[in-house]
A and B are shown apart, each in its own frame.
Chain A
Amino acid sequence: EAGVAQSPRYKIIEKRQSVAFWCNPISGHATLYWYQQILGQGPKLLIQFQNNGVVDDSQLPKDRFSAERLKGVDSTLKIQPAKLEDSAVYLCASRPIKDDSNYGYTFGSGTRLTVV
């Protein structure tokens, strides 16, 4: 089974530029998450989708961050304009609807963003 695919792996941008990350979840996984992981910290949830609907975006800085999952499959996360403090690894995770054990909750390898 293919894992959660993310691209690009690395991105360096200047502050005030915009950037987009892409995630393709495991086939059939209805739930998709974006997490932000700042160096030395645990991942923090930004947004959760179920199919193409947003379940929780309470921790998404909506003045600069946006995310979509238009067809309920792959997803993009955008930052515009970027700030220095946005430097982090952005992890995507997906999960099947029926996953009582949590072992179906799978993370991608992440996109490492550096804002200079």
Chain B
Amino acid sequence: GQQLNQSPQSMFIQEGEDVSMNCTSSSIFNTWLWYKQDPGEGPVLLIALYKAGELTSNGRLTAQFGITRKDSFLNISASIPSDVGIYFCAGQLKAAGNKLTFGGGTRVLVKP
């Protein structure tokens, strides 16, 4: 089946730093989504990407949909403490009833 590989699996941030994570897939997706999940909560959508090569920003977040439709990256600029959480990429395929296939997540933690 389809698999999404996210990297890194975890990372430490210091306030003010820029953060980058990416996601690759063995399959093509129509839409690529980035979610954030806080402890005890469901995932919340941050950014949606619809076209190959598309670069989209939402505040301090920037994400790009790869040209091949098999990869994406998410950047967070000038990180703040509330950026801590788990970030998931998800691919969506119209032919599969628009169901979401999630990556394994990138856990963002604060440097001690």
- B88 at interface, CB cutoff 8 A: yes
* Residues of chain B from 59 to 112 with CB closer than 8 A to chain A in the complex: 88, 90, 92, 96-97, 99-105
Give complex CA distance A116, B41 in Å.
23
- B21 at interface, CB cutoff 8 A: no
**How many A-B residue pairs lie within 8 Å, measured between CB atoms?**
51
Q: What does DSSP make chain B's interface, helix, strand, loop or mixed?
A: strand
Whether A107 touches B96, Cβ cut-off 8 Å, given contacts A42-B90, A44-B102, is: no
- Tell whether, in the assembled complex, residue B40 and residue A101 are in contact, meaning their CB atoms are under 8 Å apart: no
Give complex CA distance A101, B105 in Å.
22
Interface size class of chain B, counting residues whose CB lies under 8 Å from the partner chain: 20 to 34
For B48, B96, B97, B105, the residue with the greatest tally of chain A CB atoms inside 10 Å of its CB is B97
Residue numbers of A with Cβ under 8 A of B are 4, 33, 40-45, 48, 55-56, 91, 93, 101-103, 105-110
- Measured between beta carbons, the chain B residues less than 8 angstroms from A91 are 42-43
Question: Can you name 13 A-B residue pairings with CB atoms under 8 Å?
Answer: A40-B104, A40-B105, A42-B103, A45-B101, A91-B42, A91-B43, A101-B48, A102-B45, A103-B48, A105-B100, A107-B43, A110-B40, A110-B41
Give complex CA distance A69, B101 in Å.
23
Whether A56 touches B97, Cβ cut-off 8 Å, given contacts A41-B104, A42-B104, is: yes
Whether A42 touches B88, Cβ cut-off 8 Å, given contacts A56-B96, A102-B31, is: yes
Give complex CA distance A107, B103 in Å.
17
